[in-house]
Amino acid sequence: MMIKNICCIGAGYVGGPTMAVIAQKCPHIKVTVVDLNQDRINAWNDSDLSKLPVYEPGLDKVVEEARGRNLFFSTDVDQAIDEAEMIFISVNTPTKTYGVGKGMAADLKYIELCARQIARVAKNDKIVVEKSTLPVRTAQAIKDILDHTGNSVNFQILSNPEFLAEGTAIEDLFSPDRVLIGGDTSSEGQKAIESLVAVYANWVSRDKILTTNVWSSELSKLTANAFLAQRVSSINAMSELCEKTGADVSEVAKAIGMDSRIGSKFLKASVGFGGSCFQKDILNLVYIAKSYGLNEVADYWEQVIIMNDHQKRRFSKNIISTLYNTVSGKKIAFLGWAFKKDTNDTRESAAIYVADDLISEQALVAVYDPQVQETQILSDLNYLESRTEMENKKYIHVASNPYVAVENSHAIAILTEWDEFKDYDWQKIYDSMLKPAFIFDGRNLLNKEQLENIGFVYQSIGS
């Protein structure tokens, strides 16, 4: 089937950029991205491109080129489903916060709602593509719902997991390492796979488009994220050992990374990984393994999360012990709140947990992040439910400028590796702080020698 109309349900960090790129690369396909959230859709339609709801380098240019030509953002979900031959489901699948599997399993409520809506609206055959990361065998659940509509519409379910990383989403979409498409082994299933292959083949070479069965595709996504997160936890585990032994984790990472079997990427020790995927996907993997009685498999992967939690906690503990065992009433400036640079996404960011620990010790936390707004920072802290919103507001202050954030502070903590932090006037910052002036660099971003020459007491991760 030649695809002329695509609908994507969910205009978030995955759906928005992915569809924008598909539309830009395939001018002959009409792409409509729908979402229930009117504010989000308004922001995607804003003529001021700096107001797009997702901050991604290069995204504004792609949207500018395609929007209104063959890329549309709307809240009319039914109409977009009706018109499309291919429907991507790109809604959020957070970790469950209630009931069976609470804190572990993926909450599939939004996925099921989408499937039911497609079932209700569809009048002709559709290919439904899972884009969100899902537990293995979710495709079967979607298929069950769709096949019981009783309106003789045929549905093919494909799994097409997204491997883009935030901050480099546009680059990752333009030249992916691979595109993975899983589908049914029947001839109908193979035809559906070919339709989606043809969409990507507009800009991705065919040898990079892998096709598998649905279950392999679903599990590959969880596996890829688990392996990536495991590398970060592995190097973070070594960082603590480095601090005790006099080794330097950056040197160790370089030395092992030159082994072509290990490779040099994803070996940066940090205050801990964040983001919407790693923790959620591993918890989900652990839950699935346990549900099959594979307790050793579950324990093995759970350790990646335990290590990550430890890394965040030991960062805050070190700040407290270094500041003479009390931070009560002391101002601590945070540079960065996003879970990594070049994104405004804060989901599971280490900054949230470090701030929460310090506030529990009555520290006054002043935050500056170039892309994250005050309302988001407050809502991240409130979500933890460690204290009331009123109390959080007493302890957290969001500054619109880094120099204001650091003024009269006892210490600076670097939580995100934004490039601009390297170019600040560190002498001016030093002069405006209380002495001794401490820097806790959770990203090993700054120049130790330069800062120590100015007079800072500088501590990084793993040395």
Question: Which of 233, 231, 325, 270 lies closest to 440 in space, CA to CA?
Answer: 270
* 225 contact choice in ligand ADP, ligand UDX, none (CB below 5 to 8 Å, kind-dependent): ligand UDX
> Would residue 160 be called left, alpha or beta, if left means φ above 0 and alpha means ψ between -120 and 50 degrees?
beta
Q: Are 229 and 282 in contact (CB under 8 A)?
A: yes
Q: Are 375 and 39 in contact (CB under 8 A)?
A: no
* 163 contact choice in ligand UDX, ligand ADP, none (CB below 5 to 8 Å, kind-dependent): ligand UDX
Which 8-state DSSP code applies to residue 96?
P
* 268 contact choice in ligand UDX, ligand ADP, none (CB below 5 to 8 Å, kind-dependent): ligand UDX
As given in the structure block, the two tokens for residue 148 are 């019981």
Close Cβ partners of 91 (under 8 Å, ≥ 6 residues apart): 9, 10, 12, 15, 110, 111, 114, 132
- Helix-then-strand count for the chain, H and E: 18, 14
Is 20 labeled as ligand-binding?
no
As given in the structure block, the two tokens for residue 272 are 């801990």
Q: Given candidates 268, 280, 312, 331, which one binds ligand UDX under the rule CB under 6 A?
A: 268
What span, in angstroms and rounded, lies between the C-alpha atoms of 229 and 184?
A: 30
Contact between 267 and ligand UDX per CB under 6 A: yes
Contact between 164 and ligand UDX per CB under 6 A: yes
Peptide bond into 436 cis (omega under 30): yes
Stretch that binds ligand UDX, among 224-232, 323-331, 381-389, 400-408 (CB under 6 A): 224-232
Is 93 labeled as ligand-binding?
yes
Question: Which of 44, 103, 49 lies closest to 73 in space, CA to CA?
Answer: 44
Question: Closest separation between CB of residue 114 and ligand ADP, Å?
Answer: 5
How many chain residues are in contact with ligand ADP, going by CB under 6 A? 21
Q: Given candidates 3, 6, 7, 11, which one binds ligand ADP under the rule CB under 6 A?
A: 11
Stretch that binds ligand UDX, among 271-279, 296-304, 382-390, 424-432 (CB under 6 A): 271-279
* 165 contact choice in ligand UDX, ligand ADP, none (CB below 5 to 8 Å, kind-dependent): ligand UDX
Q: Given candidates 6, 9, 298, 359, which one binds ligand ADP under the rule CB under 6 A?
A: 9
CA 253 to chain centre: 24
Contact between 162 and ligand UDX per CB under 6 A: yes
Q: Given candidates 10, 182, 183, 442, which one binds ligand ADP under the rule CB under 6 A?
A: 10
As given in the structure block, the two tokens for residue 92 are 């959020």
Contact between 276 and ligand ADP per CB under 6 A: yes
Burial 138-175 (b: 16+ CB within 10 A, else e): bbebbbebbeebeeebebbbbbbbbbbebbbbbebbee
* 228 contact choice in ligand UDX, ligand ADP, none (CB below 5 to 8 Å, kind-dependent): ligand UDX
Burial 195-212 (b: 16+ CB within 10 A, else e): bbbebbeeebeeeebebb
* 256 contact choice in ligand UDX, ligand ADP, none (CB below 5 to 8 Å, kind-dependent): none
Contact between 166 and ligand UDX per CB under 6 A: yes
Q: Among residues 231 and 448, whose Cβ is nearest to ligand UDX?
A: 231
Q: Given candidates 63, 114, 228, 359, which one binds ligand ADP under the rule CB under 6 A?
A: 114
Question: Closest separation between CB of residue 417 and ligand UDX, Å?
Answer: 7
Is 17 labeled as ligand-binding?
no
- In total, the chain counts a number of residues equal to 463
Q: Given candidates 3, 6, 14, 366, which one binds ligand ADP under the rule CB under 6 A?
A: 14
Closest residue to ligand UDX using C-beta atoms: 275
Stretch that binds ligand UDX, among 122-130, 190-198, 273-281, 288-296 (CB under 6 A): 273-281
As given in the structure block, the two tokens for residue 222 are 């969880």
What is the DSSP annotation of 144-178? Answer: HHHHTSSS---EEEEE------TTSHHHHHHS-S-
What span, in angstroms and rounded, lies between the C-alpha atoms of 401 and 423?
A: 14
Q: Which of residues 71-100 bind ligand ADP (CB under 6 A)?
A: 77, 90-92
What span, in angstroms and rounded, lies between the C-alpha atoms of 431 and 400?
A: 20
Q: Given candidates 55, 339, 353, 458, which one binds ligand UDX under the rule CB under 6 A?
A: 339
Which one of 8, 26, 114, 277 is the catalytic residue?
A: 277
What span, in angstroms and rounded, lies between the C-alpha atoms of 285 and 24?
A: 35
What span, in angstroms and rounded, lies between the C-alpha atoms of 94 and 101?
A: 12
Q: Given candidates 225, 279, 346, 444, which one binds ligand UDX under the rule CB under 6 A?
A: 225
> Would residue 330 be called left, alpha or beta, if left means φ above 0 and alpha means ψ between -120 and 50 degrees?
beta
Does residue 277 have an active-site annotation?
yes
Task: State residue 322 phi and psi, 5-degree precision.
Answer: -70, -35
Q: Which residues of this chain interact with ligand UDX, rule CB under 6 A? A: 162-166, 225, 228, 232, 266-268, 270, 273-275, 277-278, 339-340
* Sequence ranges of the binding site: 10-15, 35, 40, 91-95, 132-133, 162-166, 221-225, 261, 268-274, 277-280, 339-340, 347, 443
Q: Which residues of this chain interact with ligand ADP, rule CB under 6 A? A: 9-15, 34-37, 40, 77, 90-92, 110, 113-114, 132, 276
* Sequence ranges of the binding site for substrate: 162-166, 221-225, 261, 268-274, 339-340, 443
List residues with catalytic annotation. Answer: 277
